[in-house]
Chain A
Amino acid sequence: EDKVVQSPLSLVVHEGDTVTLNCSYEVTNFRSLLWYKQEKKAPTFLFMLTSSGIEKKSGRLSSILDKKELFSILNITATQTGDSAVYLCAVNMVAGTYKYIFGTGTRLKVLA
């Protein structure tokens, strides 16, 4: 059965800390992996990863994919209270379609 597993389920850190969120997957015909940030209702797009070893970076956030070991990590450096959210990982499996399997998410809380 295709699945996406995120860890940890939740995390509490203090401002300035660095966090690493994990997403592992077991799917057939992997196409791409996406990271989203969900603060209230709508997930907002962060990164799309398709190739191993190529880091995507946006400000304090970065992400990388390992297609051999079937996982991705999302790093957030110098965390701020505004980073508090649920971070979702999703995997697109079948070429030519838009359907994704979502992980259960990691709930991050950053304390001032």
Chain B
Amino acid sequence: SAVISQKPSRDICQRGTSLTIQCQVDSQVTMMFWYRQQPGQSLTLIATANQGSEATYESGFVIDKFPISRPNLTFSTLTVSNMSPEDSSIYLCSVGISGPYNEQFFGPGTRLTVL
């Protein structure tokens, strides 16, 4: 497994502002992902953070709203832009550990509340 840290752990933001969430892993990993978990809902994949190239976004998520950086194999950021109350969620980064069956581990999450 890997030790994953995220910051901030929580934040309360005003409508129209942006927040950048950081994810740090204690070892080099190929695959990093960003998920969103809206209140009472399950996890939804936002995008795959690719090192050295643009992130791969899932249907319903766009780069202008959720820009992602992945400057190296241990770090990634997700920005939630021009926030609205509908963006209030837990945001989780995860990493994929190489192996035959693709294990996936999660960071501690960021709880975002948009007023």
- By a beta-carbon cutoff of 8 Å, the part of chain A in contact with chain B is 31-32, 34, 36, 40-45, 48, 50, 88, 90, 92, 96-100, 102-105
Contact = CB atoms under 8 A, between A and B. Distances in A.
A21 B90 CA distance: 24
B54 to A, nearest CB: 17
A100 to B, nearest CB: 6
B104 interface: yes
Per DSSP, chain B at the interface is: strand
Contacts of B105: 45
Interface residues of B, number: 24
B106 A105 contact: no
Given A48-B103, A92-B102, A42 B43 contact: no
Contact of A31 (B90, B102, B111): B102
Residue picked from B104, B105, B108, B109, most chain A C-beta under 10 Å: B104
